[in-house]
Amino acid sequence: MFNWMKTAMLMAGIVALFGIVGASMGGQSGMLIALGFALLMNVGAYWFSDKMVLKMYNAQEVDARSAPEFYGMVQELVGRANMPMPRVYIINEDAPNAFATGRNPENAAVAATTGLLRLLSPREVRGVMAHELAHVLHRDILISTISATMAGAISALANFAVFFGGRDSEGRPVNPVVSILVMILAPLAASLIQMAISRAREFEADRGGAEISGDPQALASALSKIDHYARGIPFPAAQAHPETAQMMILNPLSGGGLAGMFSTHPATEERIARLQQMAGGMRA
């Protein structure tokens, strides 16, 4: 519940930021143009996200005949979650990772790398896939698309102000120094909020996945292993498409020393601690 409230507050924050920047830099017409521009960029990505991402990673669809254990595991979890069966894919990559995609539970897909299936025990794989199914149930692709649209609109407004001259809600020119400051600070603030939303959704998927599987400790153990082994294993497909890194159960590009507030994923240690606390509560 806390993470849903946090997400709602952050979403309200990014909408409010858009309104403030729009009113001060572009007026009503500028706000509408920027929002329309951002929608055009993101609606297509939202609608076709599953096909695009799966193609980027050369994911191969599997079924009960080609991958009976993995497919059956997902099928069992889907039954526990009372949700439609997603398409199931395997990605031929050594780096251990997994993701979910699709605009809604009826048009969803889950994927895991061969590296993840080799590294983890069946119990740990089950914990990971429950996490991915929780993303589908929570419609996190929709939430991330909305936040990306608002962040894109704020960036567009800031760029319009610099290149075409900003105007406030009454049509008066904005001080050029103010325009430059807005160009730098507004997109930065929008990105920080967007990243915070992503981190909140990961915590919520951990919680939801643990409830679906009934085994929080399995996901905690899986996260520990993935975090330890993934650091030394390159993931070329993720490096070629860094915009998809936020979809993974652990950020495959997290080795760059970025500050936590700019990360799409929470600290692994904190995720593990929360899951272990949840496991303790289930045993009590």
For the chain, the domains span 2-283
Q: Is 170 part of the annotated catalytic residue set?
A: no
What mean pLDDT value characterizes the chain? 80
Tell me the one-letter amino acid at 76: E
Pairing relation of β-strands 98-102 and 108-113?
antiparallel
Mean pLDDT of 104-125: 96
pLDDT above 60 (res 61):
yes
pLDDT at residue 278 in the model: 93
pLDDT at residue 190 in the model: 75
Give per-residue pLDDT as tens, 229-280.
877 788 888 888 777 778 899 988 755 444 555 688 899 999 999 999 999 8
| CB count in 10 Å sphere of residue 193 | 23
In the set 132, 170, 211, 243, the catalytic residue is: 132
pLDDT above 80 (res 18):
no
Provide DSSP, 2-17: HHHHHHHHHHHHHHHH
Mean pLDDT of 168-188: 62
Q: Where are the beta strands (DSSP E) in the chain?
A: 60-62, 87-91, 98-102, 108-113
**Among the ranges given (34-48, 102-116, 243-257), the one the predictor scored with the smallest mean pLDDT:** 34-48
Q: Select the more confidently predicted residue: 50 or 268.
A: 268
Give per-residue pLDDT as tens, 126-166.
999 999 999 999 988 777 777 776 677 677 666 665 555 55
Confidence (pTM): 0.79
pLDDT at residue 34 in the model: 60
Q: Select the more confidently predicted residue: 70 or 192.
A: 70
